[in-house]
């Protein structure tokens, strides 16, 4: 499951995040799914995915303790399965 942490991800372009006191609501305009991100740290990780080389770096930048990375990997897998986040092509990016 933690292999997701070594991959480059980004917020799907069809998804909008709306800040809430508990975290955020993520709405996918294509499939009309609504997902609750119940931790502010998870919101910070998801927002940081596009600017990080991989999800592991996004977790580090958000200050998520390594002991919690397994739980975050499962949350990111769920977001990927719901098309809230998607793989980011890194082949054309500068090193």
pLDDT at position 91 is: 74
The neighbour count for residue 37, using CB atoms within 10 Å, is 24
pTM for this entry: 0.89
Domains, the chain, in order of start with CATH, read: 2-87 (3.90.930.70)
pLDDT at position 92 is: 63
pLDDT digits (tens, 9 = 90+) for 53-67: 999 999 999 999 999
Q: Hey, which residues does 17 pair with through a beta bridge? A: 26
pLDDT digits (tens, 9 = 90+) for 35-93: 999 999 999 999 999 999 999 999 999 999 999 999 999 999 999 999 999 999 877 65
φ, ψ of residue 81 to 5 degrees: the values are -65, -30
Q: Terminal CA-to-CA distance of the chain, rounded, Å?
A: 26
Q: How confident is the model at residue 94 (pLDDT cuts 50, 70, 90)?
A: low
Nearest-angstrom CA–CA distance, 70 and 82: 19
């Amino acid at each position: 499951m933690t292999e997701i942490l070594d991959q480059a991800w980004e917020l799907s372009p069809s998804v909008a995040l709306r800040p809430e006191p508990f975290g955020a609501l993520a709405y996918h305009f294509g499939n009309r799914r609504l997902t609750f991100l119940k931790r502010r740290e998870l919101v910070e990780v998801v927002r940081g995915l596009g600017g990080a080389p991989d999800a592991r770096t996004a977790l580090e930048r958000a200050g998520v303790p390594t002991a919690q990375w397994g739980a975050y990997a499962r949350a990111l897998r769920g977001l990927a399965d719901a098309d809230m986040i998607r793989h980011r092509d890194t082949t054309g990016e500068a090193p």
